[in-house]
Structure 1
């Protein structure tokens, strides 16, 4: 079923890796056998006490990559111990990053419902992304690296002509993202910086796809930009403090044919967000809408109005009339 925001376009969404599973009551070195009992779904812990029935501060999430690192993800094989070529062929089949290969750290946000919703939105739009043939892609706030790795896997058939960037204000997240990319046999320029500070002029008008799962939870303003994992969810008043900073930066980074995918919470007033972007010359539509026990999420796609041609039903006729811009070339990475 398609969804709209105040008359904006619709698109059918698909359900992807949100049904992630983990073994029940097993140790870290456990390897499943055919006789083992079924697995159960993981529920999403609250991003902030304001969303939880019990006000417990989520200083650390239950680890998704431990003991998942040794679960049988495909044909009973231990994916975490597989060779890089075998992992690469597995990635082509799955089209998303493998949870068992996602690195973790106590101060880094791990993949949860919002991460899965963003990846589902990219999966739902994958055919259009392939036709779009982006040269440069960027994730703002990369966290564990699950989303940027999934995007790189989805676009794998485009070959080495696509270059990836990932940024995060948390240096631990930058390191975890590097580890996740390496575990999947992928590469991206990973930079520890505030949104895209230091990159805006360098990459202005050159990024074809920007993805972001921003800090969207309404919190006291003093929590915004805190060190460690708090920075991954603290969104200030109405959860909009960081979101409202991202839009002008994304506008500067995006190429004429650029697309922006962003996760928002109902409390962020996504209808108002779309109206604000419309005033800046951007069209928008919901690609995925998902409700959990704690929140209602929307993944919204933005593009420069008039650049993309598509029907309200999301036809297969999406294309860009603009040529690719020359892309940034460098063999080194910033820090």
Structure 2
């Protein structure tokens, strides 16, 4: 794919509200949100992309909550770590990011067959995931468009730099989840990917600015997740798929049960245990039979994990 921008997705309306401003160069984000999306000021994007190992302190060095550790061993089918931009206030790619991308890679053939028209990442951070997804699907000739949102303006800038460094394009918006975009995106998004703030934290940390917004999940790490799910349901197309990272503390079984009550089937695409946490990448898709057939959630127990719908139980076409 040649470096540079493609025509943006044909939004029904481009008069973005203040809380859903297109991302722009850093110098333009200090004042009022700009009225149109633009690329990073350096043009090429390579100068703005910094090696994470050189310019970003680890979570341990910063004294921050751990969400996995950094790793550099990735494939050519994903974004390359040396080209992933960084910022002190932006969450860097870690085990949860890699787990989400690996789950997408495992579903690559199905994603290509789906031929999504619009893919979206909620909470794009460094841009590693949305860039990796665009690279995976770049062989599609159907003109797939990409959209990324983040409440952190520095994350929007960083994502833009990462995208440009890899020669791919996405529209990047500064907004809370999909605030201000719900009506325009209703039923339009074919693939949504989310690595949400899932770390259990005090409630007062919810909505804080900067890098803390990438992990502060409130009680059981569910407060932000429980806001994301209904918002995403509104924008998913009838054939849409949602991929989301969860932590064992988030009670993935309960999340699957809640989604089943809303008509979504689910499966665990990937489980990964790190030094400090057990991660699950869940996949959801619409199934008209799911809501009527949903069984009551069993009480949480040591065997709760066996109740999760793993790949062996996934439905045809998912």
TM-score, length-scaled by structure 2: 0.71
Q: 1:285 to 1:64 in 2, by over 3 A?
A: closer
What CA distance in whole angstroms lies between the structure 2 residues aligned with 1:217 and 1:299?
Answer: 15
What CA distance in whole angstroms lies between the structure 1 residues aligned with 2:226 and 2:52?
Answer: 40
Q: 1:137 aligns with which of 119, 124, 127?
A: 119
Shift of 1:58: 1.3
Q: Following superposition, which runs of at least 4 residues in structure 1 exceed 2 angstroms of deviation?
A: 59-65, 311-319
What CA distance in whole angstroms lies between the structure 1 residues aligned with 2:182 and 2:225?
Answer: 17
What CA distance in whole angstroms lies between the structure 1 residues aligned with 2:65 and 2:286?
Answer: 39
Number of equivalenced pairs: 247
Structure 2 partner of 1:276:
258
> 1:60·1:107 contact (CA, 8 Å) conserved in 2?
no
Tell me if 1:258 matches 2:240.
yes
Structure 1 partner of 2:317:
318
Q: 1:312 to 1:238 in 2, by over 3 A?
A: closer
Structure 2 partner of 1:151:
133
What CA distance in whole angstroms lies between the structure 1 residues aligned with 2:260 and 2:215?
Answer: 26
Per-residue CA deviation, residues 175-202 of structure 1 (Å, 9 max, x unaligned), is 0000000000010000000001111111
Q: Name the Cα RMSD after superposition.
A: 3.2
> 2:196·2:244 contact (CA, 8 Å) conserved in 1?
yes
Structure 2 partner of 1:204:
186
What CA distance in whole angstroms lies between the structure 2 residues aligned with 1:171 and 1:154?
Answer: 26
Tell me if 1:57 matches 2:57.
no
Tell me if 1:216 matches 2:222.
no
> 2:198·2:221 contact (CA, 8 Å) conserved in 1?
yes
Higher relative contact order (CA 8 A, sep 6+): 1
> 1:238·1:268 contact (CA, 8 Å) conserved in 2?
yes
Structure 2 partner of 1:243:
225
Residue correspondence of structure 1 range 28-67 to structure 2 within 5 A: 45=59, 57-58=63-64
Per-residue CA deviation, residues 277-335 of structure 1 (Å, 9 max, x unaligned), is 10000000000000011100000000001599xx963789526xxxxxxxxxxxxxxxx
Q: 1:160 to 1:307 in 2, by over 3 A?
A: farther
Shift of 1:60: 11
> 1:59·1:229 contact (CA, 8 Å) conserved in 2?
no
Shift of 1:163: 0.3
> 2:87·2:154 contact (CA, 8 Å) conserved in 1?
yes
What CA distance in whole angstroms lies between the structure 2 residues aligned with 1:62 and 1:313?
Answer: 27
Shift of 1:95: 1.0
> 2:267·2:313 contact (CA, 8 Å) conserved in 1?
no
Residue correspondence of structure 1 range 1-335 to structure 2 within 5 A: 45=59, 57-58=63-64, 94-159=76-141, 161-306=143-288, 313=312, 318=317
SS in 1 for 2:140: helix
